[in-house]
Amino acid sequence: MSQELTRMLDTLTKDIAGAKVTLKRARRMRIDVDADALPALLELLQGRGSYVHLSAISCVDWIDDNQFELVYHVWSYESNSLVSAHTRIPRDPGVYLSIYDLYKPAAFFERDIHEMFGLYFEGSPSMEKFILTEWEGPPPMRKDFDAEAWVRDTFTERDYNPEWLKELTDAGGGIAIRPQDIRK
Amino acid sequence: MIKDIPIIAEQAQQPRRTNPLAHVFDELMNFARSRSLFMLHYCTGCGAIELPPAMTSRFDMERLGIQPMVTPRQADILLVTGYVSIKTLKRIILTYEQMGSPKHVIGICSCTVNGGMYWQSYATAKKLDEYLPVDLYIAGCMPRPEAVISGLQKLIDNIKHGKSDNWKDYYQRYDHYLGNQQHLFGNNWQTPTDVIGEAREYGLFGPQTLGQHTELLESVQKPLQPLEMKL
């Protein structure tokens, strides 16, 4: 069954330049595709391949490559299989096309990604604040946002040095690695 | 060797009134209060999952006289059961200010103590007692219903002996709490409750009720408008 699925996807993506289909597990396929070809691929998957359900769009910040990776997970109720379409776009300026005209639920995921990663989706119906309505800092899921440093600037730590712990630390016990040493 | 680790901080006791009759009356009031506590049905985070067993037949909170209550205005205890995100904290403060005095705040789980496992999260407030006067903490991740019950028993004991007066601290040191709230929420932060007016009304106006933070509040405060009624 999985062989058939891969063969079907191979035929389907024949005309899309740079599309590479890999079988990850049974009924779980991965397609790597260029950023320009992704809307065409999704249109094919939806219209010809019965992948009508967009489960999620996930985003990965590859800061060393200066790229964002977008993963579109689409599910087919007919072949009961999941296709993850991976694409990479440059981190700067971080603008990509919305697939709202293909999959309506994309509006929700794109708004979330816009809020968490600062990526802008052209053609998405709303790029307003979503969950972090009261957050004014940078998009918090970006790798260049140091959440721990922000916490250190904003909050103070609670001192806790009770007598009973002192005896333990004197004997060489207590907290083995302090949080500030983990970062080094 | 097992050490006796104090987990509940003792609070300063109010000096008892000199008139013996007044003292007896106070004792009676405290006893009555301690035996009929309404707990606000407001849950944050994951610790709330320990409350259904604590409330229902297995551990049965009601044998201590503690009942869940649906509105803050009729509740005595505000249980904060887990991590407090900054958005939630605003709602907690609104809820707390609407509760009638005397009111008690209990922080359950380690997240309310020092952030717990969310200590490096941008979205959660770390120490609850910076923003609200907390009467007691029940540490644990999460504390078992037994721990919750024993914490509540400790609260009952404190109320009975007149040691659980932290709600007065909110009026007496409002400037301090407001300053911490403004630090987190921005300078435009305001609540619909007139805490300073209430402090005057209750006779709890202290030297630290007003300060630079309340001045800032007054300069940005917008008067509340009645909601427009439309059919």
A32-86: pLDDT as tens digits? 999 999 999 999 999 888 899 999 999 999 999 999 999 999 999 998 999 999 9
B84-106 tens-digit pLDDT: 999 999 999 999 999 988 899 99
Segments in chain A below pLDDT 50: none
Report which of B116, B129, B117 is spatially closest to residue B181, judged by C-alpha positions: B129
What's the confidence (pLDDT) of residue B5?
47
pLDDT in tens, B112-161: 988 888 988 999 998 998 899 999 899 888 899 999 999 999 999 999 88
**CA–CA distance, A112 with A119 (Å, rounded to integer):** 10
**CATH code of the domain made up of B20-163:** 3.40.50.12280
**Could you give the 3-state DSSP secondary structure of residue B167?**
helix
Q: How far apart are CA B146 and CA A46, in angstroms?
A: 54
Tell me if residue A73 falls in helix, strand or coil: strand
Q: Domain-by-domain residue ranges, chain A?
A: 2-182
A109 neighbors A124 (Cβ within 8 angstroms): no
B128/A20 Cα distance (integer angstroms): 52
Q: Do A134 and B121 touch (CB under 8 A)?
A: no
Strands B66-69, A120-122: pairing is unpaired
Interface confidence (ipTM) of the complex: 0.80
Contacts of A156 in chain B (CB under 8 A): 126-127
Q: Which residues pair with B80 in a beta bridge?
A: B107
What's the CATH number of domain A2-182, 3.30.460.80, 3.40.50.1820, 1.20.1530.20, 1.20.120.790?
3.30.460.80
Averaged pLDDT for residues B9-31: 77
- Give me the residues paired with residue B113 across strands: none
Position B11 scores a pLDDT of 53
Q: Rounded distance, CA B90 to CA B100, Å?
A: 18
- b/e string for A156-184 if b means 16 or more Cβ within 10 A? eeeeeeeeeeeeeeeeeeeeeeeeeeeee
Q: Cβ contact (<8 Å) for B183 and A132? A: no
| CB distance B136 to B154 below 8 Å | yes
The partner residues of A122 in beta bridges, in order of sequence, read A97
> What pLDDT, in 10s, does the model give residues B31-75?
999 999 999 988 888 888 989 999 999 999 999 999 999 899 999
User: In terms of C-beta distances under 8 Å and separation of at least 24 residues, what long-range contacts does B113-121 make, across chains too?
Assistant: B113/A158, B113/B137, B113/B139, B114/A157, B114/A158, B114/A160, B115/A151, B115/A155, B115/B83, B116/B83, B116/B141, B117/B141, B118/B83, B119/A151, B119/A179, B120/A147, B120/A148, B120/A151, B120/A179, B121/A147, B121/A151
Contact, A51 vs A45, CB < 8 A? yes
Region B165-171: mean pLDDT is: 88
* Cβ–Cβ under 8 Å, residues B88 and B183: no
**Which pLDDT belongs to residue B2?**
45
Contact B80, B105 (CB under 8 A): yes
Domain(s) labelled CATH 3.40.50.12280 in chain B stretch across 20-163
- Contact call for B119 and A179, based on CB within 8 A: yes
Interface of A with B (CB under 8 A): 132-137, 140, 145, 147-148, 150-151, 154-158, 160, 162, 164, 179
| Residues across chain A | 184
pLDDT at res. B44: 87
Most A CBs within 10 A among B7, B112, B117, B122, hence the mutation to make, goes to B122
CB-based burial of residue B179 (10 Å sphere; 0-12 exposed, 13-18 middle, 19+ buried)?
middle
For residue B125, give the chain A residue with the closest CA: A155
Distance CA B119, CA B124 (A): 8
Q: Which of A66, A70, A12 is nearest to A43 (CA)?
A: A12
DSSP letter string, B108-123: ESHHHHH-GGGTT-SS
Judged by CB atoms closer than 8 Å, whether chains meet at A158 and B114 is answered as yes
Tokens of B126: 């770390």
